[in-house]
């Protein structure tokens, strides 16, 4: 992979996180490039040591892989404008634009090119992301490995065989960081109401969240088992969980919330597909 030229159309936060992750993973900066109409964004990417362009076609001419990292609303127009050079060069195309389906990209390209759609999340910015990938039939086994390696530079990556599941992925991991931030906010406020100084409540909450996530990742036990292990009969944790789980309140709330996120993801994908 280190001989692969990877070009990013769009040099915003997600693109730069991928660039930085690849460089940290040993990919030569000289093999990376970025294109963006915004001079400030180009300069931020250039500070990573990569070549930058104002013109997308110039970037595509030198790229084996093209990562589409622009806002979903403008992606169809960007792809249509670049379609002739993409059809000529036939690079692996990876889209990290939320909600843009493979068939939408195919129609904008007007050709059957190797396409991978990715749903990353914001912790990718600190190389702690979780991404789901789906490919069209034109993507070879080697290209699948390449796409996975690129995303693993900023966190975990897993494949889906059914693109329809991307809306569920969006609801779970794409939007998921916000759910955990909301829980953290609530715990911090509750700690303050119990008399803790604000900074103490904040630090205890965030360190506890990090520790619980690490335990869940590194343990052979599932989260339900880990929860039971820290819940003593008649103890304080049991009392708190009884409130949170009373009549399935928390589980039902999350089911409703993620269902709403999934439905909105489907709506947005349909809207983008109609452009």
Mean pLDDT value across the chain = 94
Give the pLDDT confidence of 141-191 residue by residue, as tens digits.
999 999 999 999 999 999 999 999 999 999 999 999 999 999 999 999 999
Query: SS3 for 7-35, per residue?
Result: EEECCCHHHHHHHHHHHHCCCCHHHEEEE
* pLDDT surpassing 70 at residue 247: no
Specify the DSSP class assigned to residue 117: E
What distance in Å separates the CA atoms of residue 22 and residue 121, rounded to the nearest whole number? 17
Distances (CA, A) of 210 to 108, 181, 204, 216, 231: 42, 12, 10, 10, 19
- Residue spans of the domains in the chain: they are 6-169, 174-269
* 91-92-96-99 Cα dihedral, nearest 10 degrees: 100
What distance in Å separates the CA atoms of residue 68 and residue 79, rounded to the nearest whole number? 9
Architecture of domain 174-269: Orthogonal Bundle (1.10)
What distance in Å separates the CA atoms of residue 76 and residue 73, rounded to the nearest whole number? 7
Binning pLDDT at 50, 70 and 90, where does residue 116 land?
Answer: very high
Mean pLDDT score, 193-207:
98
Q: In what order do the strands lie in the sheet with 32-35?
A: 51-53, 32-35, 6-9, 65-68, 92-95, 115-119, 129-135, 155-159
| Percent of the chain scoring above 90 in pLDDT | 91
Topology at the third CATH level for domain 6-169: Rossmann fold (3.40.50)
Which pLDDT score, from 0 to 100, does residue 221 have?
96
Claim: this prediction has a pTM higher than 0.85: yes
Give the pLDDT confidence of 59-94 residue by residue, as tens digits.
999 999 999 999 999 999 999 999 999 999 999 999
Give the pLDDT confidence of 14-51 residue by residue, as tens digits.
999 999 999 998 999 999 999 999 999 999 999 999 99
Which pLDDT score, from 0 to 100, does residue 56 have?
96
Q: Which residue has the higher pLDDT, 3 or 132?
A: 132
Binning pLDDT at 50, 70 and 90, where does residue 249 land?
Answer: confident
C-alpha of 262 from chain center: 15
């Amino acid at each position: 992979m280190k001989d692969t030229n990877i070009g990013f159309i769009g040099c915003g936060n997600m693109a730069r996180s991928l660039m930085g992750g690849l460089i940290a993973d040993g990919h030569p900066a000289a093999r990376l490039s970025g294109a963006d109409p915004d001079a400030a964004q180009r300069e931020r990417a250039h500070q990573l040591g990569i070549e930058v362009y104002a013109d997308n076609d110039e970037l595509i001419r030198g790229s084996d892989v093209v990562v589409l990292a622009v806002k979903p609303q403008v992606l169809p127009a960007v792809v249509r404008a670049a379609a002739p050079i993409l059809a000529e060069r036939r690079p692996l195309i990876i889209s990290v634009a939320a909600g843009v389906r493979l068939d939408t990209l195919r129609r904008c390209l007007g050709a059957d090119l190797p396409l991978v759609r990715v749903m990353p999340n914001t912790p990718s910015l600190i190389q702690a992301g979780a991404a789901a990938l789906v490919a069209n039939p034109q993507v070879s086994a080697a290209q699948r490995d390449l796409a996975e390696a690129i995303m693993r530079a900023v966190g975990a990556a897993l494949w889906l065989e059914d693109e329809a599941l991307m809306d569920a992925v969006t609801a779970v991991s794409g939007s998921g960081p916000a759910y955990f931030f909301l829980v953290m906010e609530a715990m911090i406020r509750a700690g303050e109401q119990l008399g803790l100084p604000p900074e103490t409540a904040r630090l205890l909450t965030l360190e506890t969240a990090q520790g619980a996530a690490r335990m869940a990742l590194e343990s052979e036990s599932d989260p339900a088992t880990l929860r039971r292990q820290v819940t003593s009969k008649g103890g304080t944790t049991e009392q708190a969980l009884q409130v949170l789980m009373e009549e399935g309140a928390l589980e039902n709330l999350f089911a409703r919330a993620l269902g709403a996120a999934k439905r909105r993801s489907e709506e947005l994908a349909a809207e983008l597909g109609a452009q």
